A and B are shown apart, each in its own frame.
Chain A
Amino acid sequence: GAVVSQHPSWVICKSGTSVKIECRSLDFQATTMFWYRQFPKQSLMLMATSNEGSKATYEQGVEKDKFLINHASLTLSTLTVTSAHPEDSSFYICSAPRHSGETQYFGPGTRLLVL
C-alpha cells in the first residue's frame, strides 16, 4: 500500500547547525504534504503546508525563515531547520493526504535533538 517515508529517523546536532528532513511519498504523488511538530508528552501541531511548485504556507507562530520547506517534486518535501537551537528539539512528522483527505498517510517521524 501507499507509504510515506522520512529520513533521517534520528538526528543529533550541535546548536547553530542546520538539519534537513526529507519526506517522501513512495508510490503515489502528493501535491500537498503537511509538517507537524510534537513536543514531549504533547499533541501534534501543524507547522506548515507544503505545496508542490509553490511556496509553503506556515501556521501562525512558525518562523518561515527558520523552517524552510521545499516541495520540489510530486514525491518529495524537505524541511530544513536552520540554525537549530535546543528549543527546536522535537519530533517532526510529515503526512500526505490522498483521496480528498479520506486517507492521511503519516511518515514515521524524525526525532531531532539539538545539543
Chain B
Amino acid sequence: AQSVTQLDSQVPVFEEAPVELRCNYSSSVSVYLFWYVQYPNQGLQLLLKYLSGSTLVESINGFEAEFNKSQTSFHLRKPSVHISDTAEYFCAVGARGNTPLVFGKGTRLSVIA
C-alpha cells in the first residue's frame, strides 16, 4: 500500500516570490508520482509527473518537482509565482500498473499581490 503526506495544508506567498510545496510518500513497491492542480469548483489538472529517468521534471508553466528516492520526497517548486497560481495542489502516488492513485490531503497555495 502507498501513502502520501503533504506537510503543509496552506501556503501563503507573495507574488513573484519562490514557493515549495512539500510531498513525502511511502511505498513498498516502485511507484509513479504526480502533482495535480485543482482550481475552485473544477476538476483535476495534471501538472507534472515522474515515471523514471531524470529525477527533475518540469511543467510548461514554470513548476518543477524533484524525485528524491532516499528521502521519499517529491517536492514541487516554482521560482516566481503568479496570482493565477492560487489553487489547491495535490500530490499523488500510484503503483506501476493499472492501479488507482493515492492522494495527499492537498496544499492550498494562496498568492498575495
Contact = CB atoms under 8 A, between A and B. Distances in A.
Nearest to B99: A101
A34 B51 CA distance: 20
Interface string A96-115: 01001110101111010000
B44 A101 contact: no
Contacts, number: 57
Interface residues of A, number: 22
B98 A106 contact: no
Interface in B55-113: 90, 94-106
Question: Chain B: interface residue count, which band?
Answer: 20 to 34
DSSP majority for the B interface?
Answer: loop
Given A43-B103, A43-B105, A43-B106, A101 B43 contact: no
B98 A109 contact: no
Given A101-B95, A101-B96, A102-B51, A109 B101 contact: no
A104 B90 CA distance: 14
A18 to B, nearest CB: 23
A106 B100 contact: no
B104 A43 contact: yes
A34 B106 CA distance: 20
Interface string B16-34: 0000000000000000101
B16 to A, nearest CB: 27
25 contacts: A31-B98, A32-B98, A34-B101, A42-B106, A43-B90, A43-B104, A43-B106, A44-B90, A45-B103, A46-B102, A97-B94, A97-B98, A101-B96, A101-B97, A101-B98, A101-B99, A104-B46, A104-B94, A104-B101, A106-B43, A106-B44, A107-B43, A108-B43, A109-B42, A109-B43
